[in-house]
């Protein structure tokens, strides 16, 4: 998505070879007008797929997903994080490792809000190793719901998450896919 790529080039900041800071418009300060354009793009991409619910994970996925829910006209569920083995009763849960932070969290969703027959679009701001998306996918499966696809704002395509999920037959639609990046040479997107 040209608009998002241009914004990343303008306002994103590469730190070392691995960290892309987009906290001026995505995950600390948010640009809701940009989120709407992203939502419209996913709506176009997943047209006719019958999506009736969006699933995301706290915290930085919530803003994008809420605006997407507005455009899709459907409810948005956000998975909550808890210290491992401390998830509430009557919930679907999965374990998610964060490589960036070196932490392990359980994520969970109340069994009330994911149901067989639901057609789910997972939305998140970033994909790198794909741990969060895999965890969310597991919740959808546990609930007996149908996963239509995964919408990601920024995919670090030089990390394995996206390709691993695609090779499992899951449709992953990332609006900006970074092929390589460095402080010296900047950001190159996948064509």
Shortest Cβ 30–a second copy spacing (Å): 5
Task: Show Cβ contacts of residue 98 under 8 Å, excluding neighbours closer than 6 positions.
Answer: 104, 105, 131
Tell whether residue 46 is a contact of a second copy (CB under 8 A). no
Shortest Cβ 106–a second copy spacing (Å): 15
**DSSP secondary structure letters along 95-128:** EEEETTTTEEEEEEEEGGGS-TT-EEEEEEEEES
- Interface pick for a second copy out of 7, 80, 156, 177 (rule CB under 8 A): 80
Which contiguous run of DSSP H or E holds residue 40? helix 32-45
Per-residue tokens: 184 = 């010296």
Shortest Cβ 40–a second copy spacing (Å): 12
Shortest Cβ 181–a second copy spacing (Å): 21
> What separation in angstroms does the CA of 119 have from each of 20, 46, 82, 147?
32, 11, 25, 6
- Interface pick for a second copy out of 66, 142, 146, 189 (rule CB under 8 A): 66
Tell whether residue 175 is a contact of a second copy (CB under 8 A). no
Q: How far apart are CA 56 and CA 123, in angstroms?
A: 5
Tell whether residue 32 is a contact of a second copy (CB under 8 A). yes
- Interface pick for a second copy out of 40, 45, 62, 187 (rule CB under 8 A): 62
Nearer residue to a second copy within complex by CB, 45 or 62: 62
Paired strand residues for 13:
21
Per-residue tokens: 35 = 């989120």
Positions in the binding site for a second copy (CB under 8 A): 23-25, 28-33, 35-36, 58-59, 62-67, 69-70, 73, 75-78, 80, 109-110, 112-113
């Amino acid at each position: 998505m040209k608009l998002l790529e241009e914004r990343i080039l303008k306002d994103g900041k590469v730190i070392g070879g691995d960290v892309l800071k987009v906290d001026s418009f995505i995950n600390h300060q948010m640009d809701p007008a940009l989120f709407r354009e992203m939502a419209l793009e996913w709506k176009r991409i997943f047209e006719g797929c019958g999506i009736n619910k969006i699933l995301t994970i706290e915290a930085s996925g919530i803003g994008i997903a809420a605006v997407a829910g507005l455009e899709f006209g459907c409810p948005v569920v956000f998975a909550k994080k808890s210290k491992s083995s401390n998830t509430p009763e009557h919930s679907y849960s999965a374990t998610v490792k964060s490589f960036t932070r070196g932490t392990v969290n359980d994520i969970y969703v109340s069994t009330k809000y994911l149901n067989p027959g639901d057609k789910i679009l997972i939305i998140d701001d970033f994909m790198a190793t794909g741990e969060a998306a895999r965890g969310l996918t597991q919740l959808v499966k546990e609930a007996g719901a149908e996963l239509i696809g995964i919408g990601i704002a920024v995919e670090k395509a030089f990390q394995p998450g996206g390709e691993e999920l695609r090779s499992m037959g899951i449709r992953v639609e990332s609006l900006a896919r970074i092929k390589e990046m460095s402080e010296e040479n900047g950001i190159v997107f996948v064509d």
